[in-house]
Amino acid sequence: MKKYILRKDLTIEVNKVTLFRIEYCFDKSLGGYIESEDNLSQEDTCMILDNAEVFGQAKVFGEAIIYGEAQVFGHAEVFGQAKVFGEAIIYGQAKVFGEAIIYGEAQVFGHSEVYGQAIIYGHAEVYGFGAVYGQAKVYGQAKVYGLSEVYGKARICGLARIYDKAKVFDQAKVYGNALIFGQPEVYGQAKVFGKARIYGKAKVYGQAKVFGQAEVYGHAIIFGQSEVFGQSEVFGRARIFDHAKACNEARIYGEAYIHNQAIIYGLDEVFE
pLDDT tens over the chain, length 272 residues: 799 999 999 999 998 999 999 999 999 999 999 999 999 999 999 999 999 999 999 999 999 999 999 999 999 999 999 999 999 999 999 999 999 999 999 999 999 999 999 999 999 999 999 999 999 999 999 999 999 999 999 999 999 999 999 999 999 999 999 999 999 999 999 999 999 999 999 999 999 999 999 999 999 999 999 999 999 999 999 999 999 999 999 999 999 999 999 999 866 577 76
**Phi then psi dihedrals of residue 37, to 5 deg:** -70, -10
**Half-sphere exposure in the Cβ direction for 119 (13 Å, CA):** 12
| pLDDT at position 265 | 85
Query: In 10 A of CB 87, how many CB atoms?
Result: 15
Instruction: Check residue 257 and report its DSSP letter.
Output: E
Identify the pLDDT of residue 35: 98
DSSP string, 184-239: -EE-TT-EE-TT-EE-TT-EE-TT-EE-TT-EE-TT-EE-TT-EE-TT-EE-TT-E
What structural domains and CATH numbers belong to the chain? 173-272 (2.160.10)
Query: According to the model, what pLDDT value does residue 162 have?
Result: 98
pLDDT at 21: 98
Quick one: pLDDT at residue 1? 79
List for the chain the helix, strand, coil content (%; round to 5): 0, 35, 60
DSSP-based three-state secondary structure for 143: strand
The reported pLDDT for the residue numbered 195 is: 98
